[in-house]
C-alpha cells in the first residue's frame, strides 16, 4: 500500500545542538551589541540619543527615563550610578540574565523554552512600574529620578 503524504511518520528527533543554540545566542549577540553601543556612545552627552517625549512635553519621568544612562554606567561597572539612573532597568538586566541562562540550559538539553506568565504577574509588574513612575516624580522620591 503506498504511503500517503498526510500519514504520520516517525516523530522528529531533537534538532542539532547548533540549531537549538542559534536563537538564544543570536539574542545574546543583539543585546551585547546594543550594550556595546551604549557603552561606547555616552548618553550623558547631548545629541546622541533622542529625548524622552514624555519628559520633553510634560517634564515627567517615565519608567524608562535614565535607562540609557543606567546601561552606560552598568557597562562601565558603576552599579551605584546605574541604580541611580534607573533602578528598574538594572532589575530588568538581572531578570534578562536569569531568563537567558535558563533558556540556554533548556536549549542544550533539547527542551522547549516556554514562558507562561499569569495575568496576576503582568498586573503586578504594571503596578510596580506605575508606583515607580509616580514616586520618582515626587519630591521624596527624587533618589529614583535620573
Q: Per residue in 121-134, pLDDT tens?
A: 999 999 999 999 99
Quote the pTM value: 0.80
Regions in the chain scoring below 50 on pLDDT = 9
Largest CA distance in the chain: 80
Question: What pLDDT was estimated at residue 1?
Answer: 52
Contact criterion met (CB below 8 Å) for 69 and 51: no
Q: What is the dihedral of CA 130, 75, 96, 126, to 10 degrees?
A: 0
Amino acid at each position: 500500500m503506498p504511503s500517503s503524504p498526510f500519514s504520520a511518520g516517525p516523530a522528529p528527533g531533537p534538532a542539532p545542538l547548533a540549531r537549538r543554540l542559534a536563537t538564544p545566542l543570536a539574542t545574546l549577540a543583539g543585546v551585547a551589541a546594543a550594550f556595546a553601543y551604549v557603552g561606547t556612545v555616552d548618553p550623558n552627552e547631548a545629541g546622541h540619543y533622542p529625548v524622552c517625549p514624555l519628559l520633553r512635553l510634560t517634564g515627567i519621568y517615565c519608567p524608562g527615563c535614565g535607562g540609557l544612562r543606567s546601561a552606560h554606567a552598568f557597562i562601565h561597572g558603576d552599579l551605584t550610578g546605574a541604580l541611580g539612573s534607573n533602578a528598574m532597568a538594572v532589575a530588568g538586566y538581572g531578570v534578562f540574565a536569569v531568563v537567558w541562562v535558563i533558556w540556554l540550559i533548556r536549549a542544550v538539553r533539547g527542551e522547549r523554552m516556554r514562558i507562561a506568565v499569569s495575568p496576576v504577574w503582568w498586573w503586578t509588574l504594571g503596578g510596580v512600574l506605575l508606583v515607580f513612575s509616580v514616586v520618582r516624580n515626587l519630591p521624596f522620591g527624587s533618589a529614583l529620578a535620573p
